[in-house]
Structure 1
């Protein structure tokens, strides 16, 4: 049905007619050179035209109403996982037959019928339904149906399932505006089975350490049986332990320690050897994945004498499990370290041999300069300059963060904390002349902000070198605790400095890895991408070329640009 409607009231049409008539009367009442009959005709046309134009100003429009009858929709949700038809070879055909009969009956009652699988996809023909899903997530299936059929007139849903789900959460927690009629599938008889149900382990382990496994094995239906629990890595047997289920014992917890070698991502296969009479052996095997981290970085604090700075720095570093810290007041014979923190070392009391070995070693260094340092040695081997009376005088300086420093990032509150710290002691007239130095903290003397560096980073013989031109930084740690009852920002300053200097510049700073170690057939594969700067802080925005290789020479290429640290690249075509 179509109706003419106006934006304004229909009474305005009479004013349009009046306006048109008045306009025509004014235009054609004067004596014209043509005949009266023609004049009346022209006046009528002008009246009609002006009235029409005024009518269009009322914004007329045609309002069309169409009535469409939509049949109510009935949804048949099918759990097409492998476990559904596992108990019988005939069950698959029986389920398909039941689905066909229900679809036909609903259609005869005037319903449109939609058959939906576990992935939330519509199945065109029931005969094409395949029970090949290795996981069951009923909650995801029902939520997908709710989204996809939100604007449909749904009369109800029939849910075919065996009630077993191993992903997601309970479907009982999902509410719908239409009734759900569940139909159970499977075998109700009691089964006998052994299964590895859970393996508790750490996600990371240091190279050379052992990985502790807590393996939970479930016994269903068997009484007084035993089997073997085997742990393999790449086919190599690492452990073999007997597991005994006493009468009425359902769960066994076995704790095994596995020595770990190598580094990177590794996997172990835990297998409970099947016994005669088991319902299925698919759940007897479980694989776990973990990361093996290179051995802890070794940090040496080398000092000329005891000082409060040493404990403050040492306790901050030791809060991280990735570092092991040693303290020495004499240069060790073997410098097997990732970083040496030299506190006022070398001093005038240090032997010349130790001085040479220290400065020429290929170990990264963080030198904290104070009054005990050997100033002549510093000038001879590093671009230090001393003006005035050398180390005989000292300045009290406050740190000022250099806004142009971008080698690593600090947390949001660090700048505020650093702007109000007590002064530390720095040798008067000491400068470091290196145009390539990256200055993190400058010196503020009194109320004057200078360009003199306080904490900076550079290279010495291709080795990372950090220099703090001052001592008594322990005051910063104490001051923070007095104000905030924490050492958060002092610890951050120390840890970022140590991390930056001890970082292996040859280490990979670009990683691409799937979110899960194992994907089921047909499941979307999700990749996380991580790219890092020199301090191994994450950055984004660079193009990634991804190449996947498989068996029989299979190669497929993809490209994408991660725009956020948590961006995910999805591949659905595998």
Structure 2
């Protein structure tokens, strides 16, 4: 309470006392006990009212005890069940949950993890990928500034993400790994890794690299075979011993027919081998009969060029070449598409050749564009030339209907720079991204497409797309989403087919651990995205003839269905709009492979290193008796007494109003009783 408020309170007391004395003592000249009591009650009433007017503020301090958090993260993947540790894990989790000492000392928080982290509800051990790294990343964000030791119940085998041993170094909390498994080493052969390109080209050969590993001491012999259907296309005898425990096999197979072809690589099992699942790896190759060659024509050097080339060539069906305008003119017949990057006066002959060859184009404009020359080179767009530049951020047009565009969180992407001024168009355009300035969306296009005379084109009015690719990696830890976005633009320019009201996006084949997601877009008769459509997919297994129907779910600007639960095999599907007679069919393959079944043992050494580096202790699942006692007695995890300071104004004290009412009532009753009213 400051000095000024104290002075006001003293002054209020003097005034209240003066008024009370004037009314009952000075005015009546009587000093009986009744008048003294009435003086006191009037003083209390007036002083309390004055206090409410002054409304002083008081600090209210409350104390409470905060228990440390005890985080329990449980591996919920298939490998735990495959190692026969599922029931032991359930029993341990139940024991920790019900332990009175732990609950009294800690605030228990339970989670399960596979590819991601979730609150623990039930353990099913059916997740197909293990990513312990995400545990440390999420817990660091949420519990990084508090006391939060971690019990990590896992076999330590990782199949996805960055190495968790390094990610744990940022967590700065004690980690107590519970190792699911034992140290027993079994004799085992396995295909450690198989490298093959996803695509091959017709009448070429595609390379395969296989790393085979042996775990044992005696010398053994086996046979490596690669087969497709019932036909063996490759065979080689391999010998292993304690010194030579791995073999690298390189081979090439012919691509004679277009389409998706599945293969099986297999090591012949040993007589005493416990795990034979990891002896087999299925893979597939899509043989295509042509490759899209894209020319990136630019008269300047810019990071955007490298980003575009990387994105285009992330799909092996495509190749990109960065060329000067003169170089393109010498090789013009080699390309199916052209990217025109910030055209200037040297692009006149390039535009003439593109017009002659009727090639689809992707034009990127920016501060280094010669706008006067660009306005002369083409007629579809005329830009007002101000020689001033502005930064524009993107905003996705949810009604764009030419091809499927996923929202990459464009609104958070870095801005692109281009000419400031209005642009006019001489033909209809389809806006993909709008310009946004300071969070306000303008009715001006940043990225758009158009079609004229059976020729397709896309235009991006902004320089700096390389920053988008970098931001996409920061957000997703992968370039895949951005590269897929550019890939869809290239795919749109690669075809002149008439657009359909129903578009379905899917892969030709999926690995056994991949998420099998199909996306679709449906448009009404005016080609506006229909958010009320009812789409249904019928999926049929070619071999078993079993089929099932599933509905699509609306996800922002498209519909999505998750088929990840399907067994390995060949499938045909039909997507149909239920209200109208519109459908699209296709087929895909799911390869038989479970990465979680490739392990024979827990990764004991890695979990023990994790415990040592974090100053924790590792335990085997069968030897956890001392864990609870150690946690309770560990002085690094104290209960902390904290206080909260809250500023409370006097007007919030409701009892003061009751006190004023009581004082006035008592004064009135005494005066009434003594005949003073």
Higher relative contact order (CA 8 A, sep 6+): 2
Match of 1:270 among 249, 264, 267: 264
In structure 1, the partner of 2:9 is 13
- Structure 1 pair 161/531, CA: closer, same or farther in 2 (3 Å)? same
- Structure 1 pair 322/545, CA: closer, same or farther in 2 (3 Å)? farther
Which piece of structure 1 moves more, 51-60 or 196-205?
A: 51-60
* Contact in 1 for aligned 2:207/2:250 (Cα 8 Å): no
In structure 1, the partner of 2:173 is 178
Instruction: State yes or no: 1:213 paired with 2:224.
Output: no
Q: CA deviation at 1:15?
A: 2.5
Task: Please list the CA deviations of residues 255-299 of structure 1 after superposition, one character each: whole Å capped at 9, or x if unmatched.
Answer: 222416445xx4634331441333323323334466655624799
Q: CA deviation at 1:118?
A: 2.3
* Contact in 1 for aligned 2:225/2:232 (Cα 8 Å): no
Instruction: State yes or no: 1:121 paired with 2:110.
Output: no
In structure 2, the partner of 1:374 is none
- Structure 1 pair 561/210, CA: closer, same or farther in 2 (3 Å)? farther
In structure 2, the partner of 1:251 is 247
Instruction: State yes or no: 1:226 paired with 2:178.
Output: no
Rounded Cα–Cα distance in structure 2 between residues aligned with 1:572 and 1:9? 70
User: Which of the two has greater helix per residue?
Assistant: 2
Q: CA deviation at 1:182?
A: 2.4
Instruction: State yes or no: 1:505 paired with 2:497.
Output: yes
* Contact in 2 for aligned 1:194/1:219 (Cα 8 Å): yes
Report how many aligned residue pairs link the two structures.
409
Rounded Cα–Cα distance in structure 2 between residues aligned with 1:560 and 1:96? 35
Task: Please list the CA deviations of residues 103-138 of structure 1 after superposition, one character each: whole Å capped at 9, or x if unmatched.
Answer: 6667368434444332433446xxx64444433222
Rounded Cα–Cα distance in structure 1 between residues aligned with 2:48 and 2:507? 69
Q: CA deviation at 1:13?
A: 1.2
The TM-score, its normalising length taken from structure 2, stands at 0.46
The TM-score, its normalising length taken from structure 1, stands at 0.53
In structure 1, the partner of 2:161 is 168
* Contact in 2 for aligned 1:85/1:92 (Cα 8 Å): yes
Instruction: State yes or no: 1:366 paired with 2:361.
Output: no
Rounded Cα–Cα distance in structure 1 between residues aligned with 2:125 and 2:491? 52
* Contact in 1 for aligned 2:154/2:177 (Cα 8 Å): yes
Rounded Cα–Cα distance in structure 1 between residues aligned with 2:211 and 2:452? 53
Rounded Cα–Cα distance in structure 1 between residues aligned with 2:240 and 2:5? 90
Q: CA deviation at 1:558?
A: 0.9
Match of 2:364 among 394, 402, 411: 411
Rounded Cα–Cα distance in structure 2 between residues aligned with 1:152 and 1:27? 62
3-state SS of paired residue (2:364): coil
In structure 1, the partner of 2:129 is 135
In structure 2, the partner of 1:77 is 73
How does 1:275-286 map onto structure 2 within 5 Å? 275-276=269-270, 277-286=272-281
Instruction: State yes or no: 1:557 paired with 2:552.
Output: yes
* Contact in 2 for aligned 1:267/1:287 (Cα 8 Å): no
In the alignment, structure 2 segments of 5+ residues that lack a partner are 28-35, 295-323, 339-349, 386-423, 427-449, 458-489, 540-545, 566-677
Rounded Cα–Cα distance in structure 2 between residues aligned with 1:101 and 1:529? 47
In structure 2, the partner of 1:111 is 105
- Structure 1 pair 343/51, CA: closer, same or farther in 2 (3 Å)? closer
Task: Please list the CA deviations of residues 34-64 of structure 1 after superposition, one character each: whole Å capped at 9, or x if unmatched.
Answer: xxxxxx9999999877755543344445765
- Structure 1 pair 230/209, CA: closer, same or farther in 2 (3 Å)? same
How does 1:165-564 map onto structure 2 within 5 Å? 165-173=158-166, 174-175=168-169, 176-206=171-201, 209-221=204-216, 223-232=219-228, 235=229, 237=231, 239-247=233-241, 248-259=244-255, 261-262=257-258, 266=260, 268-276=262-270, 277-288=272-283, 295-296=290-291, 312-315=328-331, 318=334, 366-367=355-356, 410-413=363-366, 416-419=368-371, 439=380, 464=455, 503-506=495-498, 510-513=503-506, 517-518=510-511, 520=513, 543=531, 547-550=536-539, 552-562=547-557
Rounded Cα–Cα distance in structure 2 between residues aligned with 1:55 and 1:153? 44
Rounded Cα–Cα distance in structure 2 between residues aligned with 1:270 and 1:163? 28
Q: CA deviation at 1:164?
A: 1.8
Rounded Cα–Cα distance in structure 2 between residues aligned with 1:48 and 1:66? 29
- Structure 1 pair 74/7, CA: closer, same or farther in 2 (3 Å)? farther
Rounded Cα–Cα distance in structure 2 between residues aligned with 1:121 and 1:422? 54
Task: Please list the CA deviations of residues 156-210 of structure 1 after superposition, one character each: whole Å capped at 9, or x if unmatched.
Answer: 3333333221222332221334311223332322222232332323344445654
* Contact in 2 for aligned 1:203/1:290 (Cα 8 Å): yes
Larger Rg: 1
